[in-house]
Amino acid sequence: MSKIGLDLAPAQHHAGSLNGLPRDMGTQAPYRQTVKNFCASCNNGWMSALEAVAQRVLTPLILGQSGTIEVEDQALIAMWAQKTALTAMLLSSEEQRASGYGLAPSEYEAFYETSTRMEPLAASRVWAGRYEGGTGFSGVRVTPLAVRIPGIPEPDRPQAYATTIVLGELVLQSVRFTTPELELDLTTELGMPQIWPSNTPVAWPEGDLCTEAIFLRFADGRMLHPTIGDIELRPWTPATELPQSALVDGKVKVPTLCGKHSFFYPQALLAEALRGTFYAFVTGCECPVAYLLQTEKDGVHCKAAGKAEGISAMYEDLPGEELQYEDEAGVFICKRLLSGTP
């Protein structure tokens, strides 16, 4: 990846769970992270063979050049995408994995078994599309999914997961059903071609672009739809939704991303958001982490988290009028955003 012509300017690196504060891995050159969870015979054997095929087939696509994924390469490219995602999940800290972050060890065991067949995990679907976003952005995102059937409660464990990989102008998305009995045929709103399973050559690019604006919705599997009736495939709620906020003494109480603390903001701001007037404010927790928050019609959203100086500077740069709300708890400072402020 570091030798094919991509932007190699130092970039911020993070690894962490969904809806949690990621572990800051610092600013460094891309494509230099390594994990040490694989033995030499695998790393230099069948995994190296996957890399060789990926380099040959995917390099032009990553660089934005039109190409074709031939039938004989499709299983290996789909397998490479899963291998890359499984490996990337090991960049999380040992503490995060010990607390349940990441994919089950059984997925790694099952993937190792595929090395004798050189094809992806069973009950998988893989698509290839084009990404258009910030220069130098690359990443891997894994989202647990649940099959939702009308009248049946959401399961207490995910039944599938989506993995999304962005490299240059190439985006690869796959869905693996960990409960094979629930395997579904799926379509994607973007019309991206399916490379696994497939029995015809796949031209690239086809379908609509995955843009920076829709990336999170796309990566969370919200643009995938089963072809059967009223059945839905949705992000598994415990992994992708923060606990609900609550009204406490005229204020809205919201959990912070660390999962250990909460912050409060005036209920009046929520009422104004429902009428289309939005506010931004800065708060923090004892971790210590500062947050830049913004109200929207469906509640308050975290726009950035980090050190207090940087978050405060981002707040100051926002266009709008600064206001003060005063109640028995003290003064609450916020900024009324101009119409159209993202």
Do 162 and 307 lie in one domain? The reply is no
Residue 19's SS3 state is: coil
Give the total number of structural domains in the chain: 2
| Residues 224, 175 contacting (CB under 8 angstroms) | yes
Last residue of a domain, one of 209, 238, 267: 238
Do 302 and 224 lie in one domain? The reply is no
- Phi/psi at 338 (nearest 5 deg)? -70, 150
Residue 100 is predicted with a pLDDT of 66
Whole-number Å distance between alpha carbons of 334 and 267 = 13
Number of residues that make up the chain: 342
Number of Cβ within 10 Å of residue 291's Cβ equals 23
- For the chain, residues with pLDDT lower than 50 are 341-342
Residue 15 is predicted with a pLDDT of 83
Residue 136 is predicted with a pLDDT of 79
112 falls within a domain: yes
Last residue of a domain, one of 238, 270, 299: 238
Q: Which of 195, 178, 62, 37 is nearest to 127 (CA)?
A: 195
Q: What pLDDT digit, counting tens, does each position of 322-334 carry?
A: 999 887 768 999 9
Do 162 and 292 lie in one domain? The reply is no
What domain range is 56 assigned to?
11-238
Write the burial class of residue 262 (CB in 10 Å: 0-12 exposed, 13-18 middle, 19+ buried): middle
Q: What pLDDT digit, counting tens, does each position of 210-227 carry?
A: 998 899 899 999 999 999
Residue 22's SS3 state is: coil
Last residue of a domain, one of 222, 238, 254: 238
Do 233 and 251 lie in one domain? The reply is no
Residue 62 is predicted with a pLDDT of 96
Residue type at 16 in one-letter notation: G
Number of Cβ within 10 Å of residue 297's Cβ equals 10
Residue 99 is predicted with a pLDDT of 66
